[in-house]
Amino acid sequence: MSARLVIVGPPGAGKGTQAGRIAETFGVPAISTGDIFRQNVRDATPLGVKVTAILDAGDYVPDELTNELIADRLAQPDAEAGFLLDGYPRTTAQVSSLDRLLAAQSQSIDAVIRLVADREALVGRLLKRASEQGRSDDTEDVVRRRQEIYTAETAPIVAAYAERGLVVDVDGLGSVDEVGDRIAEALSSRGLVADGTTVS
């Protein structure tokens, strides 16, 4: 059996970097909803046209359309052997939709990797990065607000998966390699090994 994973983590925890590494290790695609939106908009697909109209109106992309985009992406050949989802599901309704989509193929999520880190350490890291990159808009208030939004948005999703015993907490502070090693160890302890197979 192959790995079907979800990754969540607060801003500044290096989620995108780790997502790429995990996907490469397991030989599955890292699927980011943001990337899917941008690709469909770029290619002017029917879904992309819908997304563009919604975003141009200043609205959020509704669950129904996001679910449709994800279903379309997971139906592509490279996702047959598994996937790593980044940025989805974002709501409990999306969790249910993903459950139904996978159940129709007798599949389910194997694990949810949650990067955890001290908020003050992350705020410090992000402010340092903003200073180095000249991002004057990334004030301390803005950075702290993003952390709060992340916590509020992900809590229900994490809770839904925690009830099933699927959440794997990993310390997100440290070097890229250190965090990557922790993730590999955590997944291995759950029977998910790096060659992409699942063992009991």
- Of 15, 73, 114, 182, catalytic: 15
C-alpha distance from residue 22 to each of 4, 42, 94, 199, 200 (Å): 11, 27, 23, 18, 20
173 CB-contact burial (10 Å; exposed 0-12 / middle 13-18 / buried 19+): middle
- Of 50, 119, 125, 135, catalytic: 135
**128 catalytic residue (yes or no):** no
DSSP calls for the chain: ---EEEEE--TTS-HHHHHHHHHHHHT--EEEHHHHHHHHHHHT-HHHHHHHHHHHTTPPPPHHHHHHHHHHHHTSGGGTT-EEEES---SHHHHHHHHHHHHTTT----EEEEEE--HHHHHHHHHHHHHHHT-TT--HHHHHHHHHHHHHHHHHHHHHHHTTT-EEEEE--S-HHHHHHHHHHHHHHTTB-TTS-B--
**135 catalytic residue (yes or no):** yes
**15 catalytic residue (yes or no):** yes
- Of 100, 128, 129, 164, catalytic: 129
- Of 50, 119, 144, 146, catalytic: 146
Enumerate the active-site residues.
15, 90, 129, 135, 146
